[in-house]
Structure 1
Amino acid sequence: MAPADTKNAFGYTLVIPPGWTRVPLREGTQDAIKKIVDEAAERVARELPKDQVAEARMELYRRLNSSVKEARQRDGVDLYLPTEPMHGYLVAASIIVAKVDTALRDGVARQDVMIQLITESDDAEPTEVDGAPGMRKERTMPAAPEKGAEAPSKHVDYVVQVPSSDGDAGWVVVSFSTVGDGDPESDFTEILVELFDAVMTTFRWRTE
């Protein structure tokens, strides 16, 4: 049971890096996608013929909708994507914020669940996000062309208990993934991981 003075969280705020855009997954999704595509098309229109701009628009629509579909399958509420070049390079990365409602069995404490998650995973470590206990897990995934993953990727997940006075408000999972520069162990990929960890220091709960 959570302490009596625990405030109930009903949302969150997150400061994202310049050049990243939020795509809400519950409403306003297509409006956000259209804005991203329109701005990208305006940038490339200075360099490409009109027919190629149209093709690029359709391909970007396809990729964005594919990313949205995957994020929704993971109970995502928000998807964050880099939409402007970083040092002249458009980074292949994403951040998904998901809300997971999992009922606990009677007599099972959330802290016990967290301890089990950490002890069962060699690459997990305890952490805290805006005062709420959680865990951080980092792993490298191999390429899987049959699943559309043409290159290996780095993944970092934060799993955090949602503050609640009754102690049963579920979990928030914030997931970062990137192919970096094609090498998941490179300095460039590590910089992107550090950027995500810095973003997570800005995570704040919206409470009653």
Structure 2
Amino acid sequence: MATAEHRRPPNGFNLVPPPGWDVIPLRTGTKEAMDRIVRKAVAQLPAGFPKDDIPKARLKLTQEMKKVVRRAGTKGGMTLYLPTERLHGVALPVSIVASEPIEIPRVRPDSGPEAVLAALASVTPGAETRELDTVAALRSERDVPADVAKGVDVAHRRVEYFVPVPDSTPDQYLTFSFSALIAPGSDPAFYDILVELFDAVMGTFRWSYA
């Protein structure tokens, strides 16, 4: 039965974000999730925070959240993962976006996802193969410099996993993108730690057949 079950494509996936992170669905329920996160953030303001400034803080949080959600949506995002609690007093400038499945034609009629991954790896600097829940995926990592002309306001470290959906017809792929904003003069080792965190999160990836 198990073999027959896994001959059909999964209908989703499970990913376990770190403690202190929240999930924002980008298909439906986006506003409700954003409102919940803003309410939680306002509730966590320091005890001495001026009450008169709370509406302003709520508005700023909402505007920032909308900006991040809009950016994720324009990139075909399906689910957004954000840290909403500070780590040792530090707000982590990171996000994870799971994108909608995309279809990619086979390199040859008799080839499979392996050939597509190999073709992408040949043109993607720093690409390497990782296994996610028994499926070979392509991982890449790079620093993206700020370029306002290209819509990149702040330099960031980007890590992407490109994952074939098993037994999908036609062949479908998911993309998981991690982004960490790079502050000028910051220690590169800090971003290496954040990348390790993302890799650990991707290690929790499992297909869902329910």
Query: Does the alignment reach a TM-score above 0.5?
Result: yes
Structure 1 residue runs without a partner (length 5+) = none
Identity of aligned residues (%): 35
Matched residues, number: 204
The answer to whether 1:12 aligns with 2:16 is no
Counterpart in 1 of 2:60? Answer: 59
- The alpha carbon displacement at 1:169 in A equals 4.1
Summarize the Cα distance change of 1:175–1:149 in structure 2 as closer, same or farther, 3 Å threshold: same
- Residue 52 of structure 1, CA deviation: 2.0
Instruction: For 2:164 and 2:19, locate their aligned partners in 1 and report how far apart those are by CA, in whole Å.
Output: 28
Equivalent runs, 1:117-156 vs 2, <5 Å = 117-145=120-148, 147=151, 149-150=153-154, 152-156=155-159
Deviates more, 1:21-30 or 1:65-74: 65-74
1:157 touches 1:175 (CA, 8 Å); kept in 2? yes
Give the one of 189, 192, 195 matched to 1:193. Answer: 195
Q: CA RMSD of the aligned region, Å?
A: 2.2
Take 1:28 and 1:78, find their aligned partners in 2: how far apart are those partners?
Answer: 11
Cα distance in 2 for residues equivalent to 1:78 and 1:141: 22
> Contact 2:72–2:80 at 8 Å: present in 1 too?
yes
> Counterparts in 2 of 1:76-87, with a 5 A limit?
76-87=77-88
Quickly say closer, same or farther: Cα 1:155–1:32, change in 2 above 3 A: same
Distance 1:126 1:27 in 2: 33
Question: Which amino acid is the alignment partner of residue 131 of structure 1?
Answer: T
Deviations 1:64-103 (A, max 9, x none): 1111111112221110000000111011100001123224
Number of the residue aligned with 1:176: 178
Unpaired segments ≥5 residues, structure 2: none
Partner of 1:116: 119
TM superposition score normalised by structure 1? 0.89
**How far is 1:182 from its partner?**
4.6
What's the TM-score once normalised by structure 2's chain length?
0.88
Q: In 1, distance between residues paired with 2:104 and 2:126?
A: 25
Deviation at 1:14, TM superposition (A): 0.8
Q: What's the offset of the Cα at 1:203?
A: 0.3
The alpha-carbon distance between structure 1 residues 104 and 148, as it changes in their structure 2 partners (threshold 3 A), is: closer
Q: Which amino acid aligns with 1:29?
A: T
The residue type equivalent to 2:153 in the other structure is A
Secondary structure, aligned partner of 1:44: coil
